[in-house]
Structure 1
């Protein structure tokens, strides 16, 4: 279960990075106001923005859910704390030498 969730988490992370990099910035609307509307868009100027925005939102939600799920599963799988292997050592204070 944990391995499948890790694989899904990595795939969603890579997909999320790709979708975010494909999106145009908000300043692209300013260029369109002066006649610089791009004809290279596959979905039209509005369709791509809505599709990419939805894909970003869904992939971000899945990424957060898999992060929380991995945290819960890994904490239950190992019943020890991060500091459980640490043994406290007593520091001996010696008197300052003159």
Structure 2
């Protein structure tokens, strides 16, 4: 079981790094405007507009792999527990206990005078 978890961790980390690299390789929406005015930003490895489809689809596939491996790791690490933590347990209401000799908040016989 630990071997499967390790393999899923490796795939998860590789897909995370792939997403980071692919997002950094993509150009923003403002880059097309600069290319229209001749700044030369459109010359890329995939051509003027060919990179958008390839990079966006590859990013989407890597994102699906990342989320599916993350959910699989959560499921496998649960160990079949159905405990919901603090919210899952029963709450018992207990009456507050007052220690012996504690005052009830009422003033007792003597008052202190403030010197003038």
Q: Which has the higher helix share?
A: 1
Q: Cα RMSD (Å) of the superposition?
A: 2.9
**2:60 corresponds to which of 57, 60, 67:** 57
User: TM-score, with normalisation over the residues of structure 2?
Assistant: 0.65
Unaligned stretches of 5+ residues in structure 2: 106-116
How far did residue 83 of structure 1 move? Answer: 3.7
Mapped to 2, the partners of 1:74 and 1:4 lie a distance apart of 14
Q: 1:30 is matched with which residue?
A: 33
Larger radius of gyration between Structure 1 and Structure 2: 2
1:71 pairs with 2:74: yes
How far did residue 81 of structure 1 move? Answer: 4.0
- Which protein, 1 or 2, shows the higher relative CO under an 8 Å CA cutoff with sep ≥ 6? 1
Q: How many residues align?
A: 96
**1:21 corresponds to which of 16, 19, 24:** 24
User: TM-score, with normalisation over the residues of structure 1?
Assistant: 0.75
